[in-house]
Structure 1
Amino acid sequence: MPTKITFIYDNPTDPEAFEAGYAENLALAKALPGITKVETSKVWPKEDGTPTPAYRSVDLYFADYDSASAAVATEQAGALFPNAFGLATGGVRILFSDIEEG
């Protein structure tokens, strides 16, 4: 079953600094072995202009859970995860999910 790893970045303390480091973070994510697709999103603010709890998300797709699990045990992941945590001054949640297609 296809699997994805999702990074949900909460609102950073300094959005400009986050955006300045985001391209490097994305490049590190794309370097994970076995990745089949990358999807990124920037979250819209609420209708009144106030921020939602989430700021950005990144979905990393893999053929299956074993491929995703193997990818996070690599040297490339050793570069990605510290970078992601350093970038996430507002916090980050990371999810492993099976993709259920209807």
Structure 2
Amino acid sequence: MTTKITVIYDNPVDPESFESTYPRAQVDLARALPGVQSVESSKVWPKEDGSPTPAYRMLDLSFPDYDTASRAVTTPEAGAFLASVQSAATGGVRILFSDVEVTL
């Protein structure tokens, strides 16, 4: 069963600074993780009333299974990626492992 690691970035203190480094520091490092099959980046739409969104961005990393994902996060590549995530996530971050149950 496919396993997905989802990185949920909360609203950064300085969105412009976050955006200036995000593609290189987050997406490119995620692509370098051993065993990763796909990387999907998404940005949360702003609320129409201008209030803060519950999250700012998400980064989904797909692996063929849980064991592959678990091994990937123990590598030097993951160390670089996770250090970059922690540095960039000035508003907070959540990282989830999940089984993909349905793919259409």
Q: TM-score, normalised by structure 1?
A: 0.96
Q: Say whether 1:23 aligns with 2:62.
A: no
Matches within 5 A, 1:15-94: 15-24=15-24, 25-94=26-95
Q: Which residue of 1 aligns with 2:10?
A: 10
Deviating 4+ runs (over 3 angstroms): none
User: How far apart in 2 are the matches of 1:101 and 1:44?
Assistant: 24
- Runs (5+) with no aligned partner, structure 2: none
State how far apart, in whole Å, the 2-side matches of 1:53 and 1:18 are.
17
Q: Match of 2:7, as an amino acid?
A: F
Q: Amino acid of the residue matched to residue 79 of structure 2?
A: G
Aligned length: 102
- Per the TM alignment, residue 49 of structure 1 is displaced from its structure 2 partner at its CA by 2.3
Please state how far the C-alpha of 1:58 moved relative to its aligned partner. 0.3
TM-score between both structures, scaled by the size of structure 2: 0.94
Sequence identity percentage: 64
Amino acid at match of 1:76: E
Aligned-residue Cα RMSD (Å) equals 1.0
Deviation track 1:70-96 (CA, whole Å, cap 9, x = no partner) reads: 100001001000100000000000000
Identify the residue that residue 96 of structure 2 maps to in structure 1.
95
Q: Which has a greater percent of strand?
A: 1
